[in-house]
Amino acid sequence: MTVPVLTSPDQVASTPLRVLICDEMNPGDLHHEGFEIDYEGNLPREETLRRLPEYDALITRSRTKVDRELLAAAGERLRVIGRGGVGVDNIDLEACSRRGILVLNAPESNNVSAAELAIMHLLAAARGLTRSDRKTRAGEWDRKFLGVELKDKTLGIVGLGRIGSIVADRAQGLRLKVVAFDPYVPENKFERLGVERAASLDELLTQVDFLTVHTPLTGETQGMIGTRELALLRPGSIVVNAARGGIVEEAALVEALKSGHLFGAGVDVFVEEPPTPDHPFLGAPNLGITAHLGANTFEAQERVGAEIVGRVLAALHGDVSRGAVNAPALDARTLELLGGHLDLGEKLGRILAQLLPGAHDLEVTFRGEFAADPAPIVTAALVGYLSGSTDERPNMINARALAKERGLNLAVREEQDSPDYQTEVVVKVTGGAQGEKQRTRTVGGTVFGRSPRLTRLRDYRVELAPEGFILIASNQDRPGAVAKLSNLLGTWGINIAGMALGRAQKGGQALFTLTLDDGLTPEQLQAIRDLDVIDSAFLVRV
């Protein structure tokens, strides 16, 4: 982990710290003692690259790509990048971390505006706004068009985070029934918002009249609404994407509009922004388009500007407590003493996120004597558990706040005794709807030298390096199971890097855990599940 070195207050007093704002926003008051802030609105990229070496911090919106080229042009002086808004997909976070550059965002400031824009697109598509506007301007007074009412229809929301929750609230005001799919959000949030929970994306798609997506763009969400998913929607549905281009596949959306399967759609975001003049969206029927304007209101820009400027200036003074997207908050000594335990905690969290996402309780048990206060291991477990489901890149600074926001309760237990290892960390998550059977999943691990080892999966003892992909399979402890499984993997050319076998009692249920160098296709996983010696099989990526 890289700990960015920020300026000490002494340095600040002698030389003004320089901040360049290169994208359009309302930056508020630019006069702050000890700082020189240059607001340039839409600065051409070449100019940004040319001037950047003279600045300590850069503030952007989504227009400016903070890539390796920009970082190379910046040279040594740049230490903080502020993103006015939430999505950091225009910023190469890995490259920033590697150079010790702190990245901050302002995720709460534009969510009302973005949610209102999504509702606007829904209403516009329902009443054919863009079509009627275009025809009337062309001299055609077409009053034949019939729209649809929203009242008593069902809105499906994918992603019940900050913006999805506000959309749910506003939609209920329009008398829509709201159903959402978000496997990472605990049940109590759905209950609090009065939103019905869909168990899967397919279940959501088959029961809604309108669909709106509010997830970050991740490996999982890219293209998550494609031809197959659109076909699952009822004929005459409306689709809105005001999140990120590509969550709804562009070509599939155009096709579904042209075929008449969809009544209409609204988009605020494109895969490539700005789109080329021949982009298929531009000729699609009943498709309302805005130019990534979700955050473009006076109110949001005032909040975004004030928040991101404040955060960047605070960070330049060494206070990284607000909005840090990529910075660890630990000193070098603690990092040294906790050794591989932070890595272990993060891996245990990541495994659990795949075994039981959307839990409402997470409990960490520490066994044995740790060389330093093990509390950061809890944070690391949260980082792992929350990763992959939010734009905010959970890290050692923001993970506890994010967990609180999600309604994830934390508990920590310490046991002096560690019968099997010098130290052991066991993480348990519990989830499930209120009044229904609660599910729990437990994983545990230890550290050999600086390398994490998995020691426990559910009630089974294992010993395995948590690397790559782990295949977890259970069977009735019958002979021949291992051979059949490894033969099958061998026929696919998949190498087994490590294997552990655990069983609760002789002849009872047994658990195999295999680390694999490569992942499995859904068909391969199904073929394993279909083996007569296997009861269940699950693949997690560490």
Ligand X SMILES: O=C(O)CC[C@@H](O)C(=O)O
Ligand Y SMILES: NC(=O)c1ccc[n+]([C@@H]2O[C@H](COP(=O)([O-])OP(=O)(O)OC[C@H]3O[C@@H](n4cnc5c(N)ncnc54)[C@H](O)[C@@H]3O)[C@@H](O)[C@H]2O)c1
Q: In angstroms, what is the minimal distance from the CB of 162 to ligand X?
A: 10
Site for ligand X in 65-104 (CB under 6 A): 85-87
Report phi then psi at 148, rounded to 5.
-130, 150
Site for ligand Y in 99-138 (CB under 6 A): 107, 110-111, 114
Relative orientation angle of helices 375-386 and 399-406, to the nearest 10 degrees: 60
Cβ proximity to ligand X: between 141 and 298 the closer is 298
- Contact of residue 61 among ligand X, ligand Y, none (CB under 5-8 Å per partner type): ligand X
Q: Where are the alpha helices (DSSP H) in 184-226?
A: 187-193, 201-205
Site for ligand Y in 146-165 (CB under 6 A): 158-164
Q: In angstroms, what is the minimal distance from the CB of 119 to ligand X?
A: 16
Q: Is the distance from CB of 25 to CB of 109 less than 8 angstroms?
A: no
Report phi then psi at 217, rounded to 5.
-85, 110
Options 162, 197, 214, 244, the catalytic residue: 244
Q: Is the distance from CB of 450 to CB of 371 less than 8 angstroms?
A: no
Options 272, 273, 369, 414, the catalytic residue: 273
Sheet containing 210-213: order of strands: 196-197, 177-181, 154-158, 210-213, 237-241, 262-267, 287-289
Cβ proximity to ligand X: between 165 and 475 the closer is 165
- Could you give the string, one character per residue 239-278, with x where binding to ligand Y holds by CB under 6 A and - elsewhere? ---xxx-----------------------xx---------
Q: Is the distance from CB of 362 to CB of 408 less than 8 angstroms?
A: yes
- 292 flagged as catalytic: yes
Among 47, 67, 94, 220, binds ligand Y (CB under 6 A): 220
Cβ proximity to ligand Y: between 266 and 502 the closer is 266
Cβ proximity to ligand X: between 303 and 456 the closer is 303
Question: β-pairing, 262-267 with 287-289?
Answer: parallel
- Could you give the string, one character per residue 242-281, with x where binding to ligand X holds by CB under 6 A and - elsewhere? ----------------------------------------
Q: Tokens for 229?
A: 């998913």
Cβ proximity to ligand X: between 117 and 257 the closer is 117
Q: Which listed range, 34-42, 175-183, 232-240, 412-420, lies at the site for ligand Y (CB under 6 A)?
A: 175-183
Is 113 among the residues that bind ligand X (CB under 6 A)? no
Q: Tokens for 414?
A: 């310490």
Site for ligand Y in 185-204 (CB under 6 A): 185
- 450 flagged as catalytic: no
Peptide bond before 274: cis, by omega within 30 degrees of 0? yes
Strand partners, 180: 157, 197
Q: Tokens for 409?
A: 């309760």
> How many alpha carbons fall within 13 Å on the CB side of residue 82?
31
- 273 flagged as catalytic: yes
- Write out 107-134 in H/E/C secondary structure: CCCCHHHHHHHHHHHHHHHHCCHHHHHH
> How many alpha carbons fall within 13 Å on the CB side of residue 331?
4
- Binding region for ligand Y (CB under 6 A): 85-87, 107, 110-111, 114, 158-164, 181-185, 214-218, 220-221, 242-244, 268-269, 292, 294-295, 389-392
- Binding region for ligand X (CB under 6 A): 61-62, 85-87, 110, 294-295
